[in-house]
């Protein structure tokens, strides 16, 4: 029986994770669930999965949650705050931590789980983008098993050769990262000036939280994923190529030096990578239907359009610049995406905010968690101020 802490239980990945877990009550049990503010949804999840702890972000939410739990005779204890998230992520009883909080808020609890040597199912790509060096060093030191949930990285993981890390990459030449192109594929930059948050969040193939949906629409998501892949697979940015594949059936590919290219295919449903990582190295049912190649009939591929989607080029440059560039990129992007969702800036201004912040913030070596948090905070202050100027 694997005991699991699920950070970000009420989100898109969280709900899909619980769906897979509910199919295998003999294999998995929940130790703790967490949510930011959606107390009612979290209380319902607690009634179904009966965790020992449920964690929310503030004291008022914890009080409300405890009241709901008491009314329903649930034995779950409500906790709140980052320290509680770290506590349930690192608890001795826990085998596996699903890191599915969105954004920089996931970094500290995910690192706590890594340092405690847990098996980590990593959906929270921002944690790796903002603190990749520290994160991977902590993984190496603790011997924690790190399994990617992002569908592209999970696909690459599945296509890598045995002994990849220990044998000089064993013939792998290049990683080919699939991108759907998002809801605005085929448009010019000018045709995206007036798009609304709801249009940006209407992804053609995947149903996801609003932050990652906007990232998918700007292609910043692919830029973040390129940086994520550099860290996960110890690959330079030059050896990772983005391939736009609108059907989202091939989730990514690995090219070998003998001319072989291995791909992982499947219906676009996050329960596949979640089930893969939960059961690895075994396989379990995920609830995802069989792939019907006759229905799909064709698979298309195209180059990404960097002029229309500058965020991909900005992120690639940040990956190549190294040092604190990815931390700054991630922070500015989180601030800009929130401003777009709040309708304070336009869609195409997201790239402008990120690029401007990167150009104006000094690059430093991210030597400690405190240094990363300092860089993250400075970039947030700078981009928020820049956005205020744009609003005028
Ligand atoms: P979501 O917005 O649906 O859910 C986010 C979760 O994080 C919620 O449970 C929310 O309560 C919690 N949360 C938000 N802010 C928080 C804070 N400040 N402190 C503590 N908890 C907080 O997002 P999602 O789509 O499930 O994505 C989660 C992560 O997984 C993201 O990093 C995303 O990039 C990654 N991811 C998602 C998908 C997908 O299909 N949804 C695919 C690949 C990777
Ligand atoms: Mg992805």
pLDDT in tens, 230-266: 999 999 999 999 999 999 999 999 999 999 999 999 9
pLDDT at position 240: 98
Q: Is 102 in the pocket of ligand 1 (CB under 6 A)?
A: yes
With b meaning 16 or more CB within 10 Å and e meaning fewer, what string describes 103-124?
bbbbbbbbbbbbbbebbbbbbb
Q: Is 35 in the pocket of ligand 1 (CB under 6 A)?
A: yes
The stretch 144-168 carries a mean pLDDT of: 95
Contact at 8 Å (CB) between 33 and 2? no
* Band of pLDDT at residue 392, cut at 50, 70 and 90: confident
Q: Is 344 in the pocket of ligand 1 (CB under 6 A)?
A: no
The stretch 319-329 carries a mean pLDDT of: 97
Candidate of 5, 6, 11 to mutate for ligand 1, largest count of ligand atoms within 8 Å of Cβ: 11
Percent of the chain whose predicted confidence (pLDDT) is above 90? 96
Mapping DSSP to helix (H, G, I), strand (E, B) and coil, where does residue 285 land? coil
pLDDT at position 92: 98
Residue 166 has pLDDT above 90, yes or no: no
Q: Is 100 in the pocket of ligand 1 (CB under 6 A)?
A: yes
Mean model confidence pLDDT for the chain: 97
Contact at 8 Å (CB) between 118 and 144? yes
Q: What is the DSSP string of 31-85?
A: EEEE-SS-HHHHHHHHHHH--SEEEESSHHHHHHHHHHHHHTT--PEEEESHHHH
Contact at 8 Å (CB) between 5 and 31? yes
Two structure tokens written together for 284: 């379990």
Residue 149 has pLDDT above 80, yes or no: yes
Residue 73 has pLDDT above 90, yes or no: no
d(CA 44, CA 5): 16
The stretch 287-297 carries a mean pLDDT of: 97
d(CA 7, CA 98): 6
End-to-end CA distance of the chain: 57
The stretch 18-24 carries a mean pLDDT of: 98
pLDDT at position 338: 98
Q: Which of 224, 184, 186 is nearest to 201 (CA)?
A: 184
Q: Is 94 in the pocket of ligand 1 (CB under 6 A)?
A: no
The stretch 90-102 carries a mean pLDDT of: 98
* CA 101 to ligand 1 centroid distance, Å: 4
Q: Is 208 in the pocket of ligand 1 (CB under 6 A)?
A: yes
User: Token pair 């910043």 is at which residue?
Assistant: 220
* Band of pLDDT at residue 53, cut at 50, 70 and 90: very high
Percent of the chain whose predicted confidence (pLDDT) is above 70? 100
Q: In sequence order, what are the residues at sequence separation of 6 or more whose Cβ sits closer than 8 angstroms to the Cβ of residue 231? A: 128, 132, 133, 135, 136
> Tell me, what DSSP letter sits at residue 252?
E
The stretch 90-109 carries a mean pLDDT of: 98
Q: In sequence order, what are the residues at sequence separation of 6 or more whose Cβ sits closer than 8 angstroms to the Cβ of residue 156? A: 148, 175, 177, 229, 232, 233, 252, 253, 254, 264
Q: Which of 49, 31, 41, 50 is nearest to 11 (CA)?
A: 41
d(CA 307, CA 65): 47
pLDDT tens digit sequence for 337-378: 999 999 999 999 999 999 999 999 999 999 999 999 999 999
Q: Which residues surround ligand 2, an ion (CB under 5 A)?
A: 150-152
Residue 326 has pLDDT above 80, yes or no: yes
* CA 269 to ligand 2 centroid distance, Å: 11
Q: Which of 130, 124, 65 is nearest to 97 (CA)?
A: 124
Residue 167 has pLDDT above 90, yes or no: no
Phi, psi of 244 (to 5 degrees): -80, 125
* CA 296 to ligand 2 centroid distance, Å: 20
Closest ligand 1 atom number to CA of residue 12: 26
User: Token pair 């995920």 is at which residue?
Assistant: 286
d(CA 179, CA 303): 10
User: 135-139, 202-206, 215-219, 330-334: which has the minimum mean pLDDT?
Assistant: 202-206
Kindly list the structural domains of the chain, giving each domain's residue range(s) and its CATH number in brackets, ordered by start.
Answer: 2-148 (3.40.50.720)
| Strand ordering across the sheet containing 250-256 | 240-244, 172-179, 250-256, 261-265
């Amino acid at each position: 029986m694997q005991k699991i802490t699920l950070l970000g239980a009420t989100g898109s990945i969280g709900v899909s994770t619980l769906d897979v877990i509910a199919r295998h009550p003999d294999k998995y049990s929940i130790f703790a669930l967490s949510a930011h503010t959606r107390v009612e949804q979290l209380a319902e999840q607690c009634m179904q999965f009966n965790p020992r702890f449920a964690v929310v972000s503030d004291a008022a939410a914890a009080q409300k949650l405890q009241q709901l739990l008491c009314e329903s005779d649930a034995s779950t204890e409500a906790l709140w705050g980052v320290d509680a998230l770290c506590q349930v992520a690192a608890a001795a009883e826990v085998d596996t931590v699903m890191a599915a909080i969105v954004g920089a808020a996931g970094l500290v609890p995910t690192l706590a789980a890594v340092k405690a040597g847990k098996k980590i199912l990593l959906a929270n790509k921002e944690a790796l983008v903002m603190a990749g060096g520290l994160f991977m060093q902590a993984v190496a030191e603790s011997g924690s098993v790190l399994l990617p949930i992002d569908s592209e990285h999970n696909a690459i993981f599945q296509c890598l050769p045995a002994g990849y890390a220990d044998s000089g990459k064993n013939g792998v030449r290049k990683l080919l990262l699939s991108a759907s192109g998002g809801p605005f594929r085929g448009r010019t930059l000018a045709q995206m000036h007036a798009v609304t948050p709801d249009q940006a969040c209407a992804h053609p193939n995947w149903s996801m939280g609003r932050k990652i949906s906007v990232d998918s629409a700007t292609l910043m998501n692919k830029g973040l994923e390129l940086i994520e892949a550099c860290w996960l697979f110890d690959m330079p940015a030059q050896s990772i190529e983005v391939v736009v594949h609108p059907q989202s059936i091939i989730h990514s590919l690995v090219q070998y030096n003998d001319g072989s290219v291995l791909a992982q295919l499947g219906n676009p449903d996050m329960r596949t990578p979640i089930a893969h990582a939960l059961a690895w190295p075994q396989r379990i049912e995920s609830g995802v239907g069989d792939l019907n190649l006759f229905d799909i009939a064709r698979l298309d591929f195209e180059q990404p359009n960097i002029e229309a989607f500058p965020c991909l080029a900005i992120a690639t440059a940040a990956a190549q610049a190294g040092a604190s560039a990815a931390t700054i990129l991630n922070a500015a992007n989180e601030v800009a995406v929130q401003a777009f969702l709040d309708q304070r800036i336009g869609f195409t201004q997201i790239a402008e905010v990120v690029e401007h912040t990167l150009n104006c913030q000094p690059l430093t070596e991210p030597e400690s968690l405190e240094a990363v948090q300092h860089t993250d905070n400075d970039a947030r202050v700078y981009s928020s101020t820049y956005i205020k100027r744009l609003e005028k």
